[in-house]
Amino acid sequence: MILRASSELLTQEGLNSFAQGVITHIAALIGVPPEGVICVRKRGQPAEDDLMIIAAAGDFCALIDRPLSAMTEEITSHLLRESLNNRCNVFHRNGVALYLGSHARGDMSCYVASNAPISDVDQGLLEIFCGNIALCADNINFLERLKNFAFTDTLVGLPNRNALEEVINQFIDQESCVPYSLALIDIDSFAEINAVLGQEYGDRLLCAVSDRLKAKFYAPNTVARIGGDTFAVFGPSSHVQEKALLQPFVNPFQIGGELQLLSITAGVVPLTETQGRGSEAIKDASIVLKQAKSQSRGQVVMFQNQMVVDARERLALLKNLRSAFELNQLFLVFQPKLKLSDLSVTGFEALIRWRDSSGRFISPGEFIPLAEQSGLIIRMGEWILRNAIAELAILRAKGYMNASMAVNLSVAQLEHPDMLEMLQRVMGESNIDPGFIELEITESIAMGDTEANLKRLEQIREMGFKLSMDDFGTGFSSFTYLQKMPINCLKIDRSFVIKTDTKRGREIVEMIVQLGKTLGLNVIAEGVEEEGQGALLKQMGCNEVQGFFYAKPMPRDQLHQWLAERKNRS
């Protein structure tokens, strides 16, 4: 009975219901009806101060949460005081006062009425039980703190995702007829703000946002923080409206003397539109938010059925992609890179291709993000690297001993814990020097854990690989960050090359070339489609080019043919 009672007591939520359970179990142990009280003396409370009753059963029920002085039964209150003052068990013919030990909240004693004398054996058992209770009480405290951690966001003190789910579930169970909506609010460019102004600044900003949302959406609304910079508002649909959601962000935030205007994107789902429980509602709202982020940044977007349809389509595409990968239906094409000074081939970029079972080509721009989101990119990335190296080995055997092979690397790959081992593993399968392998990364690595990512890049460089900054200028990276990056090469994005038909466009490209040179980097322009662009880039001092004008990405056989023809011509 003691063991069962202790383990049952541990499942109680909170100290009060725990204490209530203690009375019941002690009464059961000595075979009397549950009638008693539990008193605490708080930590540091003087002996002469009144004590609080935290649990009561039977005739004592009315005394819960009242001071012990409110009790009319003199003998009972005397027994409890004696037990607490002397930290001992007191056995009396009217009942027992058991000292339950000291725990995080203070000392606790329990009185249980019993008009029959308690045998020695029972006294001994009760003593063991009380020892257990003290331990349990500490655990209850610990469990409560754990629960707090599990349901509260420690940074801003708001309910977290778990808590929000619970609130929505409770609402669903109530079957209320007031329509409720769930809004997810995401701060635009928060990752950039964090990267530039520092994490501490970002944290303070999040707290400020949390305060404004709480002030605007008080009960019956619930405000929660469900992810890095994603907040949620759950409340009556008449409250959760576009204007109200934008209102907290109309005025700039003041953090450490700086004024910061924030823009947000939000997705709103009326609860009637989602099926299932809280977690589904959050998922649906996330779908709306995601769509809003990609198409209507800075706005509040309402749920539309089409969004869920799109999300399902993407899921189906991902399923096909997975099986295409397993069935080895993906393949690589290779696009030559040329030196501008003499148009000699310096290397190749490996680009992945997918032709689905109906023969349709699906652009990597469409499926790579899917692979990244789903984690498939980890295995796929290894496969890509392995095959690109295998092709380089073939090209080397054909005499292209100085050619390099560029492989695109997703941030998800870079941040994966197995990244360095993967590189080692794949390199170990060939005897190619890593100096011939160029890993192309994008500026988006500046958005994650920048310190950790920089360290990763350093380690990759130490292994001997070359690193290129791909699509340069399209993303976001501060100059300081770029300076710190251990890269060898800057790839000017195609969108800049296109704009060289205007004076301003030319100035920008020239500036990027200069920037690269200043940092001692090899500068290469992507997406060169016209001879004139090449000439211009050469004039500006750009080192290399890659583009349809020179060569398209080609499957290996075609590439070999292309190389052979060039050789013959020269």
Applying CB under 6 A, which residues contact ligand C2E? 335, 351-352, 363-365, 368, 384, 408, 410, 440, 470-471, 494, 526-529, 546-548, 553
Helix (H) or strand (E) holding 471: strand 466-472
Q: Which does 351 bind (CB under 5 to 8 A by kind): ligand C2E, Mg ion, none?
A: ligand C2E
* Nearer to ligand C2E (CB atom), residue 230 or residue 404: 404
Q: Where are the beta strands (DSSP E) in 6-86?
A: 36-42, 52-57
- 487, interface contact from ligand C2E, Mg ion, none, CB < 5-8 Å by kind: none
- Nearest CB to Mg ion, comparing residues 218 and 548: 548
SS3 403: coil
CB nearer to ligand C2E: give 301 or 405. 405
Residue 390 contact among ligand C2E, Mg ion, none, beta carbon within 5 to 8 Å by kind:
none
Closest among 206, 222, 185 to 300, alpha carbons compared = 185
Question: Can you say whether the dihedral through the CA atoms of 418, 421, 427, 429 is positive or negative?
Answer: negative
Residue 551 Cβ, how far from ligand C2E at the closest point, in Å?
Answer: 9
516 binds, among ligand C2E, Mg ion, none (CB under 5 to 8 A by kind): none
Torsion of CA 305, 311, 314, 316, to 10 degrees: -80
Contact 354, 364 (CB under 8 A): yes
Q: Binding segment for Mg ion among 268-276, 297-305, 334-342, 439-447 (CB under 5 A)?
A: 439-447
- For position 471 contacting Mg ion by CB under 5 A, the verdict is yes
Read off φ and ψ for residue 500, nearest 5 degrees.
-70, 0
Query: Comparing C-alpha atoms, which of 499, 492, 441, 497 is closest to residue 468?
Result: 441
Cβ of residue 350: shortest distance to Mg ion, in angstroms? 9
Tokens 């935030």 sit on residue: 253
Q: Total residues at the site for Mg ion (CB under 5 A)?
A: 5
CB of 440 to ligand C2E, least distance (A): 6
140 and 10 Cβ atoms separated by less than 8 Å: yes
- Report, in Å, the least distance between residue 495 CB and Mg ion: 10
Burial class (CB in 10 A: 0-12, 13-18, 19+), 476: middle
| 212 versus 494: smaller Cβ distance to ligand C2E | 494
Beta strands in 180-263 (DSSP E): 180-187, 222-227, 230-236, 253-255, 258-260
Using CB under 5 A, pick the residue from 470, 473, 513, 522 that binds Mg ion.
470
Q: Quick one: 125 or 317, whose CB is closer to ligand C2E? A: 317
Question: Is 213:186 a contact under the CB 8 Å cutoff?
Answer: no
Nearer to ligand C2E, 288 or 441 (CB): 441
Q: Which is nearer to Mg ion, 167 or 409 (CB)?
A: 409
- Backbone torsion region of residue 399, taken as left when φ is above 0, otherwise alpha when ψ lies between -120 and 50, otherwise beta: left
Is 205 or 490 the residue whose CB approaches Mg ion more closely? 490
Local structure of 147: helix, strand or coil? helix
Q: Considering the complex, what minimum distance in angstroms separates the CB of residue 548 from ligand C2E?
A: 3
**Residue of 558, 3, 535 lying closest to 331 (CA atoms):** 558
> At closest approach, how far in Å is the CB of 307 from ligand C2E?
24
CB of 331 to ligand C2E, least distance (A): 11
What single-letter amino acid sits at 391?
E
Binder of residue 414, out of ligand C2E, Mg ion, none (CB less than 5 to 8 A by kind): none
Contact assessment for residue 214 and residue 156, using Cβ atoms and an 8 Å cutoff? no
Q: Find out whether 444 and 475 touch, Cβ atoms under 8 Å.
A: yes
Give the one entry of ligand C2E, Mg ion, none that residue 547 binds, where binding means its C-beta sits below a cut-off of 5 to 8 angstroms depending on kind.
ligand C2E
Shortest Å distance, C-beta 392 to ligand C2E: 14
Kindly identify the residues of this chain, within the stretch 517-536, that bind Mg ion according to CB under 5 A.
526
Four-point Cα dihedral 341, 342, 344, 350, nearest 10 = 30
Q: Which of Mg ion, ligand C2E, none binds 410 (CB below 5-8 Å, type-dependent)? A: ligand C2E
- Judged by beta carbon, residue 273 or residue 440, the one nearer ligand C2E is 440
User: d(Cα 470, Cα 472) in Å, to the nearest integer?
Assistant: 5
Round to the nearest angstrom and report the end-to-end CA distance of the chain.
94
Least distance (Å) from Mg ion to the CB of residue 488?
14
Which residue lies nearer to ligand C2E by CB, 236 or 364?
364
440 binds Mg ion (CB under 5 A): yes
Position among 77, 114, 408, 477 found at the interface with Mg ion (CB under 5 A): 408
Interface mask (CB under 5 A) for Mg ion, residues 274-293, using x and -? --------------------
Q: Minimal distance in Å, beta carbon 351 to Mg ion?
A: 7
| Cis amide prior to 179 (ω within 30 degrees) | no
Of residues 67 and 364, the one with the C-beta less far from Mg ion: 364
Q: How far apart are CA 118 and CA 559, in angstroms?
A: 95
Q: Does 544 bind Mg ion (CB under 5 A)?
A: no
Identity of the residue, 22 or 489, whose beta carbon is nearer to Mg ion in the bound complex: 489
CB of 333 to Mg ion, least distance (A): 12
Whole-number minimum distance, CB 206 to ligand C2E, in Å?
31
Q: Is 466 exposed, middle or buried (0-12, 13-18, 19+ CB in 10 A)?
A: buried
Q: Among ligand C2E, Mg ion, none, what binds residue 311 when CB lies within 5 to 8 Å by partner kind? A: none
State the residues that interact with Mg ion by CB under 5 A: 408, 440, 470-471, 526
